[in-house]
Chain A
Amino acid sequence: MQTGQEFTDGNGKGAVSEYLTFTLGKEEYGIDILKVQEIRGYDVVTHIANAPEFIKGVINLRGVIVPIVDMRIKFKVGEPTYNEFTVVIIMNVLGRVIGMVVDGVSDVVALTYEQIKPAPEMGAAMDTDYITGLGTLNDQMLILVDIEKLMSSEEMQVMDQAN
């Protein structure tokens, strides 16, 4: 896997970015691979008092207290079940460490700019504000998410709005 967000491949084609793809219900999403710290299984969480339902709680990640957000509840897609296959993507967003529960992690894909199309005004469970575009890969559609914008948004309630 190449490091660096953008690079020109050996054939001299357009710049490409790499995305980690995951599923929420039946939809396939992608986030910038460089925002991903690690992927781990779902562990017991400590619930936070008076937090919205989609914030599952906090976990101890090697001494660091990390909040866990369940995207399935937030965007009302898929079934929020928790078993040994439930996956948490630990991300580094705006200097914070946040965990995101998804249905499954699929792949790491590289997309050129030509493969990314702007998103139409409707379609995904997520607000289009947080979608940077739609990627096409082997007839499959990827919804590319601006995870920083999403996590710092007021509706996620993950960060104090003063920050």
Chain B
Amino acid sequence: MTETGRNNNIDLNQFNQVFFEECAEHLAEMEQILVSLGDVGPDEEQLNAIFRAAHSIKGGAGIFGFQDMTVVTHVLESLLDRIRNHEIPFSAAMVDLFLEAGDVISMQLAGHRDGAEVRQEAIDQIRVRLQQVIDSGAVVASVDVCNLDKPITENLGVHPESEVPATACQCFEMEFRPDPDIFKRGVRLESLFGELEELGELTVTAVLPAPPEFNEFDPETCACCWYLTLITTASEADIRDIFEFVAEEDQLKVQAIPVNAASGKAPDTAVTEGNCTSQSTCQADSEIVDTAIGRRAYDKNELAPGAFGRRTNEGESSIRVGVSKVDQLINQVGELVITQLMLAQTAGSLDPVVYENLHRSLLQLERNTRDLQQSVMSIRLVPISIVFSRFPRMVRELAAKLGKQVELKTIGDSTELDKGLIEKITDPLTHLVRNCMDHALEAPAARNAAGKDPVGTITLRASQVGGRIVIDVIDDGAGLNRTKILAKAAERGIPASDAMSDEEVWQLIFAPGFSTADAVTDISGRGVGMDVVLRNVQSMSGKVNIMSETGKGTRVTISLPLTLAILDGLSVAVGDEKFIIPLNSIIESLQPTAASMKSINGKNVVHVRGDYIPIIPLYELFNMKARVTDPEKGILVLIDVDGEKAAVLVDALLDEHQVVIKSIETNYRKVDGTAGATILGDGRVALILDVNSLLEMRKLQATDDRSN
């Protein structure tokens, strides 16, 4: 199989990518089910789902030639199959074993995808342990691979058959009557037979049962059938695996004829004792007879929910599309919206009475384009459950490690946000949950002493508030320790005083390298946590907020924009140029009176409801000609950046739009004070202001002024 794969010089990379993604999804699904099990055993449905995941990974790995991955999945699959058939009782210890197996497969996956390191001994160990469960029906804690006297061999064609002990050779007689159109489907029989040959000794006889009349003869249809004899140690399931995508159930008949000539053993020793496990996947003899003609044993009950190849929850079907294609679509729809706006502007100058029909159609067009834009934007949105689903396992394992009792609650799993944000929010959330587990939540004894439920609770809550997504990480632990933080800050030379408000004290933990942990553990305490969280969130134009009460718990709130691709903005005019100010940073806009204008060191400030707010004249900052330089004649837009306020002076307010953010850096370099650009209704480019960097520029200018 790998041979043929290599011979065809097709770029398999793109297919591999699909496999990697699917494989990761299957692993995640498996893990999710396993973790959700708790102490109760899985029901039929869940077992089937886990089995399907393992089977799909194995199938995919086989097709794409990652033989090493099939090895582990194969044993896993066999075990799951046994459990499914109630041959081996399910036990709670298996959950951990399966999780570990999942990790090993993940590791192999990472090895293939990113060239990450693959630890062979881990693979061997998990394989042996799974195998032992199959053999003994119970979980063995851990084994040392080195102590095994003989290597476990697998019947997957990975190892050459010479390594397989010459026991239990079986002779299979097969009759293969393919579809007449098999050649049109592009099936290559020679490679198929080649694969069979790898399993053992193969003889192939082609028979033309009913030769057609010469003038009816169609060289592209298959009129042949084949009789094959294979002497092999492999099981029937392995043979059927090879025919998996080629032959329908009724097109392949397999008959097992045990041979004793090769091994000298009794014909009925299908399952051999000792180390040879090559027959372990094979069902008991009676079953082989039962299913000799037909599918694999576990496919017998085809109508049962979750039978192989069927997904019970087909309701949410989906297709896999590259992000670049979606982005292209978003771009094109953006163009369409601009064109529609241009049309509307042109039509606006026409007499509405004479052109009534045109105006009506244009209104319709506007509605349609808006709907279209919304639908297209929603493609990029994915539910946050993708991130949340990875925490149950982490919490479970950390709790066991730390000897704490923790319950994880997730609320608002279906809240959707941009795919790009989902990828970036995972790390910060992981940090926060780890922190909760390690620092915040107390040990059960301490909790009892404090009169709290010994089981601590961590709540992950996501919700949409206006144009933002708010994610809370809440624990009912000890809360932040004010004195400890202040002492640590003093020790590290971070300016802090006892007079600071709680809120200001909590902000201190965002300082790089800050940690109040008494000891560095492998979970946390190195102080590389919170500053990374803050930086990551800020890079997504988000905010982090902390609320904490001693003895009651802590709540960390992350607030993110819904998407990075669009933005609600206010367009303002300065001179001949238009700028967009993000709406979410605007508090209000006002026209100042002469009485409210004050000045400090020659810099203007405006007095608004008791606050003195510095004025940033945009024309000055950007070195351009403005129509208005006197704040009293212009408009002040009050902006709020992390609690810091400023008033931006502009000539006029124009309009409120939803704009598509485009990068200037694609073709140019970064422009200070801007967060990108957008295209307005008239086809012109407008820069989007980045209020954060406006404030920084202002401060920089001020220091420059002073030093001059």
Contact = CB atoms under 8 A, between A and B. Distances in A.
Contact of B577 (A46, A62, A65): A46
A88 interface: no
Interface string B333-350: 011000000000000000
A50 B704 CA distance: 16
A159 B666 CA distance: 9
Interface string B492-504: 0000000000000
Contact of A46 (B621, B669, B687): B687
B668 A49 contact: no
A63 to B, nearest CB: 5
B683 interface: yes
B684 A60 contact: yes
Nearest to B670: A160
Given A49-B687, A58-B685, A65 B671 contact: no
B664 interface: yes
A63 B331 contact: yes
Contacts of A60: 679, 683-685
A85 to B, nearest CB: 22
Nearest to B683: A60
A124 to B, nearest CB: 26
Nearest to A98: B667
Contacts of B331: 63
A62 B335 CA distance: 8
Given A46-B685, A58-B677, A97 B622 contact: no
Given A59-B685, A60-B679, A63-B335, A49 B669 contact: no
Contact of A64 (B622, B666, B687): B666
B665 A160 contact: yes
The B interface, classified by DSSP as helix, strand, loop or mixed, is loop
Contact of A58 (B332, B624, B664): B664
Contacts of A159: 668-669
B663 interface: yes
B687 A48 contact: yes
Contacts of B667: 64-67, 96-98
B673 interface: yes
B367 to A, nearest CB: 22
Interface string B441-474: 0000000000000000000000000000000000
Contacts of A62: 335
A44 interface: yes
B663 to A, nearest CB: 7
Nearest to A57: B685
A144 B354 CA distance: 58
B624 A49 contact: yes
B668 A158 contact: yes
A51 interface: yes
Interface in B145-193: none
Given A47-B577, A49-B687, A65 B674 contact: no
Interface residues of B, number: 30
B665 A48 contact: no
Interface in B533-581: 576-577
Contact of B666 (A44, A51, A96, A157): A96
B669 A65 contact: no
Contacts of B679: 60, 63, 65
Interface in B668-696: 668-674, 677, 679, 683-687
Nearest to A96: B667
> On chain A, which size bracket covers the interface?
20 to 34
B521 interface: no
Contact of A63 (B334, B624, B673, B687): B334
B626 to A, nearest CB: 12
A90 to B, nearest CB: 10
B662 interface: yes
Contact of A49 (B334, B662, B672): B672
B623 interface: yes
Q: Which of B334, B621, B668, B684 has the most CB of A within 10 A?
A: B668
Contacts of A65: 662-664, 666-668, 677, 679, 685
A96 B667 CA distance: 5
Given A44-B684, A59-B685, A63-B331, A50 B622 contact: yes
Contacts of A49: 621-624, 671-674, 687
B668 to A, nearest CB: 4
A62 B622 CA distance: 27
A67 B663 CA distance: 12
Q: Looking at A49, A65, A96, which has the most chain B CB atoms within 10 Å of its CB?
A: A49
A57 B703 CA distance: 28
Contacts of A59: 685
A64 B686 CA distance: 13
A50 B665 contact: no
Contacts of B684: 44, 46, 60
Interface in B604-629: 621-624
Contact of B669 (A57, A64, A97, A157): A157
B256 to A, nearest CB: 61
A38 to B, nearest CB: 14
Interface in A126-161: 157-160
A132 to B, nearest CB: 24
B335 A50 contact: no
Contacts of A57: 685
A96 B663 CA distance: 12
Contacts of B576: 47
Nearest to B674: A49
17 contacts: A46-B677, A46-B685, A47-B577, A48-B668, A48-B671, A49-B623, A50-B623, A50-B671, A58-B668, A64-B667, A65-B668, A65-B677, A67-B664, A96-B667, A97-B667, A98-B667, A157-B669
Given A60-B684, A67-B664, A160-B665, 15 more contacts: A46-B677, A46-B685, A49-B673, A50-B672, A51-B671, A63-B679, A64-B662, A65-B677, A67-B668, A96-B668, A97-B667, A158-B668, A158-B669, A159-B668, A160-B669
- Top 4 A-B pairs ranked by shortest CB distance? A49-B622, A46-B685, A160-B669, A67-B668
Interface of A: 44-51, 57-60, 62-67, 96-98, 157-160
